[in-house]
Every structure is written in C-alpha cells, then in structure tokens.
Structure 1
Amino acid sequence: MLVSNVSLGGCAEFNSALCAGAGEGHLGGGSYRTTLTPTGHLIVAVCLGFIGTFGLVNNLLVLVLFCRYKILRSPINLLLINISISDLLVCVLGTPFSFAASTQGRWLIGEGGCVWYGFANSLCGIVSLISLAVLSYERYSTMMTPAEADSSNYRKISLGIILSWGYSLLWTLPPLFGWSHYGPEGPGTTCSVDWTAKTANNISYIICLFVFCLIVPFMVIVFCYGKLLYAIKQVSGINVSVSRKREQRVLFMVVIMVICYLLCWLPYGIMALLATFGPPDLVTPEASIIPSVLAKTSTAINPVIYVFMNKQFFRCFQAMLRCKAPLRGSSARSSSKVATKAVRGVAVTGPRRTNDFLFLVASLGQPAAAVPQLGPSCEPTIDISKAHSSDNKPVVVSLVAHFDG
C-alpha cells in the first residue's frame, strides 16, 4: 500500500490542508497527478471485486462451519477463526471502499475516511500476520511439551489471540498520534501509511514496521514449521511408508504457506522500502498498486490454506454440503480429545529396545484409534487419548507425526 502521486479528483475530496501538504512534497514530492488510466482503474476495480467477494465468502463459510459443528471448537481452531475474522474485517471495512474508489478513479470518503481506512486495514492485516506466527509457534511449543496436551484449556490460545490484537494495536496506533501518519497511496484510490515522506520520524516508523510486523512473523513461521518437519523426519525411522507420506504432506503445506506469505507480503514490503529510501519518482502509481492488491489477496487465500486444507474443516464442509453428519472416525470427530502431543515412550521390537526416546507427535485432530501401529513385532499399543496409567512400567506406544492444516 504505497504512496505515490494522487489524482486531482482525489484531492478534491480531501480538505485543503491535505492537498497543500501534497503539493509541498508531503506525499513524496511527486507532481500530484495520476498516470493510471481509466482502463487501469477498471482492472484494479475488477481485481478488488474478485478478492473482496471470494474473501468474504470464504471467511464467512469458515465461521459458519465453526458455529455449526461443535467438533471444530477446539483451542487450536480458535486461532484459525481469529485469522478468518481479521480477514473478514478487511473484506468488510476496506475492500468495498477501495473498490468504489477504483471505479470512480478517486477517493470518495474524505480525509477522515482515508485515515480510518488506513488504520483499520493495517490493524487487521497485522493481526492476520501475527496470528499466523502464533499458530505456528503454538504447534511447535505443543509438540515439544513432554506432557499430554489439555484440549479443554483455552487459556493459552486466548492469550495468543489477545497478543495478536494487542501487538497490532501497538504498531498501528502510533500514526494516529504523530509517529508517521495515514494518507492516500498509489493512484489515490486507497490509503495507508505514508511510505514516501523523507523525515526521520517517518523513516524510523517504516523500518520498525517492516522488521517487527513482516520479517519477525516470517522468521517465526519458518523456524517453527521447520522444527515440525524435522520432528516428522525422526519418526520416519519407525514407520517409513506412513511417515514418508505424512512428511511429504507437511512439506507441501509448509512450502505453500511460505510461498503464499511471500507472494502476498514481500512485494508490499520491498516497494515500501523503495518508496521510503528511493528517489521520489521511483515508485509510480502503476507499480505501487500491484503490491497493494497482492496484499489484499491474503484475505481470500488464508481460508483455503489454513482451513480448507485442514481435514477437520474440510470433512465438516463436505458434511454440510451433503446435509449429513461428519464421517464417523474422521479427524474432526476427535478434535476435542486428541490435540498436539509430545509423548515419551519405550518401543520394544523383539530383542531390540529403544530406550527413553522422545517421539514428537504433531497431530491436530487425528483420532487415537486411527493411529497406525509401529509394526507387527511391536507390543500392543495403548490409546494415547486416555488418562495416563499410574503404573510406572515402560509402555509401548505407536506414534506418528500428523499435520492437519
């Protein structure tokens, strides 16, 4: 969401102070005219229309599934719902206004509306990014916990959700109080942080925003999912055929997550830095609008990656389409009973014995009854969803790393 030259039509909708500031170089020293043609505005409007429609439908469907099926109401799924809510708010509070502005070629709701648009969309966008990082950390930390996870404990997840909104407010409120500011961007049909003001006040804010709201969440996601994938590789030595399939599935999911994250937000970050540190005319309206549109696509992509590629939600979605209950024995059925676990056990295979080995199980809703056996030579397995036995003798457990969205 990069600031460049703003159309004269858009200027007419703002007060004279804002327009004067732009003419004096407040918005980056440009000529304050648009180079985006009517056809260009139309293309942007069509893209925003598709993104807003799909984002609204996808996120509403996620909320409907969550409200309809109690089996989906597990702590970890609350983070997915938090992501959907933040994305839905962008579709409701942001995309319609930028869509309408693009159809007219100018901003339509004045300076106050521009500031509100910039703040609300920045807030919800950062909440979504931080929630993705919290989600990855939750899976990683639970995987490393040597005790059975309490699937009825919502306290930790609730703190993560509060953290995502509090952290986002920490970085989106300062422009309202003088540390940088919100204003028109690109061809004047959207608003965001002013990326082009060459002042120490603005540059310091842009650097902090880039580091703490883009780079840090990305590093957390890569680290946590990297550890998750490494844990699955350790299990592959126990049951190669099953674990290899799961490993490939996790790898595919992680690659998709990282690629989509970079596709949606990296162009935005790069263009913001170019607008901040580059020459005043380096970022044109045509170039600046593309990262803005790409960033908004995350509202439609996130539900597909994090929810509909999740077996729990997908099976409930199928059940809703067929007007039936979720399939018996599906992962959704036991989502409230079996959460992500890390279990310490002793596996015995004939005369050989693996002592005191930590198996990491990353399962989000896989029923214990569906967990494969270690092999025909193993002792009978126990149901890891049941309470721990008071017997201190070593037990044999069958473990497999599983990843549900």
Structure 2
Amino acid sequence: MGNASDTSAVFASTISKEHDILMGSLYGVFCVLSLVGNCILLLVGYHKRSTLKPAEFFIINLSISDLGMTLSLFPLAIPSAFEHRWLFGEITCQLYAMCGVLFGLCSLTNLTALSLVCCLKVCFPNHGNKFSSAHARLLVVGVWCYASVFAVGPLAQWGRYSAEPYGTACCIDWKAPNYELSALSYIVCLFLFCYALPCTVIFLSYTFILLTVRGSRQAVQQHVSPPQTRTTNAHSLIVKVRG
C-alpha cells in the first residue's frame, strides 16, 4: 500500500489545475501545428523522392523525428494535463521518457549532421561534391543509432527515467546522480556528446561557411559590380548546399 501511495504522489501534478489546463491547451495547439506542418513536408518529400538531393534527406529525417515526438508524447501529455496527473502508469512513463529523448536527440544530431554536410559542400567543394544520396542515407541511419544509445541507456540501468517535477509527464531523472554513479556518468556523457559536442560542431560549421562566403565575396568583388556580386554569391551558396 505504501508503494502505491508513493507512486500516486509522484504522478500527481504539483502545479495548479488552471495552469495544467492552459498547458494542455497549448499542447493541443502545438500537436495540430506539428501534424499539419510535418505531414505536408513528408508529402512533398514523397512526391519528389526520386529527385531528392543529399542534404534534403536530413530535412525529411528531421520532419520524421519531429512527427514521431508529436505522435508519441502529445497523446499522453494532453489528457494527463487536463486530468491534473499522469494517467498511464510507471511502464508507460518509462517509454514516454525514452521517446522524448530518442526523438529529441535525433533532431539535434540530425541538425548537427546537416551542418557538417553544408560545411563540407561550401567550404570543401572537392570533397563535398562526392557526397551522394547513399552517403546521406548512411548518415541518417547513424543519426538514429547515435540517439538510440542514449535513449535506451536508462532502460538498461545506465541513467534513470522518472516523473517530471511537475508530475504530469516523464523525463530523465536529474536527481539520480546524487545517489547513483551510473546515473552520474550518463548525465555527464549526455551533456558532452548530446549537447556540448553538437552545439560546438554546429557553431563551427556555420562559422566556416560564413567565412568562406565572405572570402568568396571579396574575391568576386574584384571582377564584377556589387549587384552582380550579391546575386552570384547567393546563387553559388544555394547550389553548393543543395547539390
């Protein structure tokens, strides 16, 4: 009886009923917008599937991960918010948290891979031109595998999932490192490899792109007029990224 009472308390909302209703309403709006936007993008991608450029595979994959998060999280979070407590039990809580980490990290890792591909094509065209659709597909698979390692970790006792502090959803247990060494190592690795590293790669990639475009603009300005320079640079950048 004590355990059941403790579990019930963990999954009870710690914020006001009015705020839960507000959050549930916002979740509903976000859910509809995400469904409409991502379904349209996937439909467009399906119709032009035979002509997709390598970089566009990452846009499609990003839409898939966003749609996966929408379909796996919002249907559970919305009724829980309106009921002022988590409704679906401990096992579903673990799966909910795993889906949140999986699709969230997949989106971030996918953006990181996309920034690298754009940097390769713009800054190192000799190598970037060799990047094919097959390479893009392989990298997309790598993105999912990378995210899966950290999403499945807490289910394999590396880290821990638990109820959110506000009680109506579930996520990584950020307090577990206080009493579990494995949870501490998980949080450290998560910070290093799923936050610090991707953010650094994205920042450096787009910094190199900006520097390359700036250098290209200065070189072109010596031979053409300013209006032609802007048009040429914009067209060249679009062709390199999409190629």
**Shorter-chain TM-score: what band?**
0.7 to 0.9
Distance in 1 (CA, whole Å) between partners of 2:71 and 2:155 is 22
Determine the structure 2 residue equivalent to 1:362: 237
Of the structure 1 ranges 69-78 and 126-135, higher mean CA displacement relative to structure 2 is found in: 69-78
Distance in 2 (CA, whole Å) between partners of 1:211 and 1:45 is 33
In the alignment, does 2:60 pair up with 1:74? no
Change (3 A) 1:148 1:78: closer
Change (3 A) 1:92 1:133: same
Determine the structure 2 residue equivalent to 1:209: 190
**Deviation digits for residues 144-169 of structure 1 (CA, Å, limit 9, x no counterpart):** 03267257x32211121011111111
**Deviation digits for residues 249-291 of structure 1 (CA, Å, limit 9, x no counterpart):** 8xxxxxxxxxxxxxxxxxxxxxxxxxxxxxxxxxxxxxxxxxx
Change (3 A) 1:224 1:16: farther
Change (3 A) 1:17 1:157: farther
Determine the structure 2 residue equivalent to 1:160: 139
Determine the structure 2 residue equivalent to 1:254: none
Q: Map 1:8-47 to 2 at 5 A.
A: 17=3, 20=6, 34-47=13-26
Whether the 8 Å contact between 2:158 and 2:183 is mirrored in structure 1 is: yes
The correspondence for 2:125, drawn from 145, 149, 156, is 145
In the alignment, does 2:191 pair up with 1:241? no
The correspondence for 1:127, drawn from 90, 95, 106, is 106
Whether the 8 Å contact between 2:110 and 2:140 is mirrored in structure 1 is: yes
Whether the 8 Å contact between 1:232 and 1:243 is mirrored in structure 2 is: no
Q: Map 1:234-313 to 2 at 5 A.
A: 234-237=215-218, 238-239=220-221, 240-244=226-230
Change (3 A) 1:212 1:148: closer
Determine the structure 1 residue equivalent to 2:39: 60
Distance in 2 (CA, whole Å) between partners of 1:207 and 1:145 is 36
Larger proportion of helix: 2
Distance in 2 (CA, whole Å) between partners of 1:106 and 1:34 is 5
The correspondence for 2:207, drawn from 223, 226, 233, is 226
Cα deviation for residue 101 of structure 1 reads 0.6
Cα deviation for residue 186 of structure 1 reads 2.7
Distance in 2 (CA, whole Å) between partners of 1:54 and 1:246 is 36
**Deviation digits for residues 273-314 of structure 1 (CA, Å, limit 9, x no counterpart):** xxxxxxxxxxxxxxxxxxxxxxxxxxxxxxxxxxxxxxxxxx
Structure 1: state its 5+ residue gaps. Answer: 1-14, 250-330, 332-360, 367-401
Cα deviation for residue 245 of structure 1 reads 6.9
Structure 2: state its 5+ residue gaps. Answer: none
If asked which structure has higher relative contact order (CA below 8 Å, sep 6+), I would say 2
Cα deviation for residue 142 of structure 1 reads 2.4
Report the AA paired with residue 162 of structure 2: G
Distance in 1 (CA, whole Å) between partners of 2:7 and 2:207 is 47
Whether the 8 Å contact between 2:161 and 2:170 is mirrored in structure 1 is: yes
**Deviation digits for residues 331-381 of structure 1 (CA, Å, limit 9, x no counterpart):** 9xxxxxxxxxxxxxxxxxxxxxxxxxxxxx533xx4xxxxxxxxxxxxxxx
Could you tell me the TM-score, scaled by structure 2's length? 0.85
Cα deviation for residue 69 of structure 1 reads 2.9
Larger proportion of strand: 1
Whether the 8 Å contact between 1:235 and 1:243 is mirrored in structure 2 is: no
Distance in 1 (CA, whole Å) between partners of 2:188 and 2:8 is 22
Change (3 A) 1:97 1:16: farther
Alpha-carbon RMSD across the aligned residues, in angstroms, is 2.7
Determine the structure 1 residue equivalent to 2:166: 187
Q: Alignment identity in percent?
A: 24
Larger radius of gyration: 1
Report the AA paired with residue 167 of structure 2: G
